[in-house]
Amino acid sequence: MIINVSEAKAKLSQLIDMVYHGEKVVIAKNNLPIVDLVIHQPTGKRQLGLLKGQIDIPDDFLDENEEINAMYYGKD
């Protein structure tokens, strides 16, 4: 079913119910399809530490580099 934005505003609850029951709803603007109304698909919880042990960060990673400091801040 293709429905224009103005009509979708007036019938939003009905459209949500239609999508919930498996019908495809496309919202159009000036008869040009813009969006599909679909059922929400929850994403899983983020997993932290997926790359643990696969990346090697050197111990001096946060140490300042005098040459780079000189480029940014000038020589003392």
pLDDT of residue 44: 87
pLDDT of residue 46: 86
pLDDT of residue 76: 62
Domain assignment of residue 20, yes or no: yes
Domain assignment of residue 32, yes or no: yes
- 55-61-63 Cα angle (round to 5): 175
pTM value is 0.55
Domain assignment of residue 30, yes or no: yes
Domain tally, the chain: 1
Which regions in the chain score pLDDT beneath 70?
A: 76
Domain assignment of residue 63, yes or no: no
Domain assignment of residue 59, yes or no: no
Domain assignment of residue 25, yes or no: yes
Domain assignment of residue 27, yes or no: yes
The boundaries of the domain holding residue 17 are 2-37
Residues with Cβ within 8 Å of residue 31, at least 6 apart in sequence: 4
Domain assignment of residue 15, yes or no: yes
CA gap 76, 70 in Å, rounded: 8
